[in-house]
């Protein structure tokens, strides 16, 4: 879920216009390294819940990148099949969306758990363009919901710096949205009315910067801005319909 909204929008609009044939050739020739890696990362989400300003997620990283298997901390993908520029992958991804009444007064008497999603992803690459799609479902039985994501990104390489602006859309099932944004009858209070949330279509834009110039490893900075559906924005738990997120990670191969 979830500042730099203006920066993210300018990035999406301007970076593709800067590409050249030489940069495109650099991207096609670049092959990522393989092996075991370690590192550290932190994610910060600007939450849209009332009284819950931000969620900070520290992530010590241990991982592996191989020909088919990719492990980056708690995020796992495995290539099941590949045909030309199209790859089919199995995916495992944590959902850091839980909360309890220690996070905000709006949650008094409520608790929701973070969860783990699993599913499949499809990736198509054409020169510097990448289309990523994935369909995920909650495998821990917390929300029992599903999410489908679609993302376009464009990669540019300037020496040791890679820039990747992106835009995306996601569909969240009613079970997923209602678990995190709904209010059950037994949770309703005088200041928190019962609410049953429906499915949601959400949008985001953002940018990822990557470079190997710091401390002998790979540093990645990601910025995103999210716009949420009315079924989320109308919840008595929320007071916004948009929010920003960022992550910073450093990793190095053994």
3-state secondary structure of 13: helix
pLDDT mean over 185-195 = 95
Residues 244, 5: Cα–Cα separation, whole Å: 7
% of the chain at pLDDT higher than 90: 82
CB atoms within 10 A of CB 176: 26
pTM for this entry: 0.83
Each residue of 117-149: pLDDT tens digit? 999 999 999 999 999 999 999 999 999 999 999
Q: Cβ atoms within 10 A of the Cβ of 152, count?
A: 14
The first and second tokens of residue 170, run together, are 């996601």
Inter-CA distances, 194 with 12, 76, 133, 230, 236, Å? 39, 37, 34, 16, 8
Please give the average per-residue pLDDT across 178-195, as a whole number: 96
Q: Is the pLDDT of residue 163 over 80?
A: yes
Q: Give the chain's domains with CATH numbers.
A: 5-253 (2.40.160)
DSSP letters, 27-63, are HHH-----EEEEEEEEEEEE--BTT--EEEEEEEEEE
Q: Residue 235 and residue 181: Cα distance in Å, rounded?
A: 6
Nearest partner of 208 among 11, 3, 6, 2, judged by Cα: 11
For the purposes of burial, counting CB atoms within 10 Å of the CB of 27, is it exposed (0-12), middle (13-18) or buried (19 or more)? middle
Q: Which two tokens stand for residue 201?
A: 């279509």
Of residues 72 and 11, more confidence is placed in 72
Q: Provide the CA 134 distance to its chain's centre, in angstroms.
A: 12
Residue 65 is predicted with a pLDDT of 93
- For 28-85, what is each residue's pLDDT tens digit? 445 668 899 999 999 999 999 999 999 999 988 899 999 999 999 899 999 999 999 9
What tens digit of pLDDT does each residue of 209-228 get?
999 999 999 999 999 999 99
120 C-beta neighbours (distance < 10 Å), count? 14
Residue with tokens 């909204």: 5
Is 221 exposed, middle or buried, given 0-12, 13-18 or 19+ CB atoms closer than 10 A?
middle
In whole angstroms, what is the distance from residue 210 CA to residue 128 CA? 15
Quote the CA–CA distance of 137 and 146 in Å, as a whole number. Answer: 4
Q: Does residue 1 surpass a pLDDT of 50?
A: no
Please give the share of the chain, as a percent, with pLDDT higher than 70.
87
Q: What are phi and psi of 237, to 5 degrees?
A: -85, -15
pLDDT at 2: 42
């Amino acid at each position: 879920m979830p500042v730099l909204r203006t920066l993210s929008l300018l990035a999406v609009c301007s970076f593709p216009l800067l590409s050249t044939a030489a940069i495109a050739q650099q991207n096609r020739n670049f092959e990522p390294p393989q092996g075991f890696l370690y590192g550290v990362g932190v994610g910060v989400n600007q939450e849209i819940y009332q009284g819950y300003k931000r969620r900070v997620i520290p992530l010590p990283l241990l991982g592996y990148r191989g020909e088919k298997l990719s492990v980056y901390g708690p995020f796992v993908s495995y290539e099941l099949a590949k045909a030309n520029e199209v790859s089919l992958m199995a995916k495992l991804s944590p959902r850091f969306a839980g909360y309890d009444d220690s996070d905000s007064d709006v949650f008094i008497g409520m608790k929701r758990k973070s969860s783990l999603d699993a599913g499949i992803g499809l990736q198509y690459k054409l020169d510097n363009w990448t289309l990523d799609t994935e369909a995920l479902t909650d495998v821990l039985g917390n929300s029992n919901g599903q999410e489908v994501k679609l993302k376009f990104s464009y990669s540019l390489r300037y020496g040791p710096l890679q820039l990747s602006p992106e835009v995306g859309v996601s569909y969240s099932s009613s079970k997923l949205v209602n678990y995190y944004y709904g209010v059950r009858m037994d949770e309703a209070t005088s200041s928190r009315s019962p609410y049953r949330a429906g499915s949601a279509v959400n949008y985001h834009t953002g940018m990822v910067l990557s470079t190997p110039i710091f401390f002998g490893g790979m540093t990645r900075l990601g910025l995103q801005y999210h716009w949420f559906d009315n079924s989320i924005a109308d919840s008595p738990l929320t007071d916004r319909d948009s929010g920003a997120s960022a992550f910073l990670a450093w990793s190095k191969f053994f």
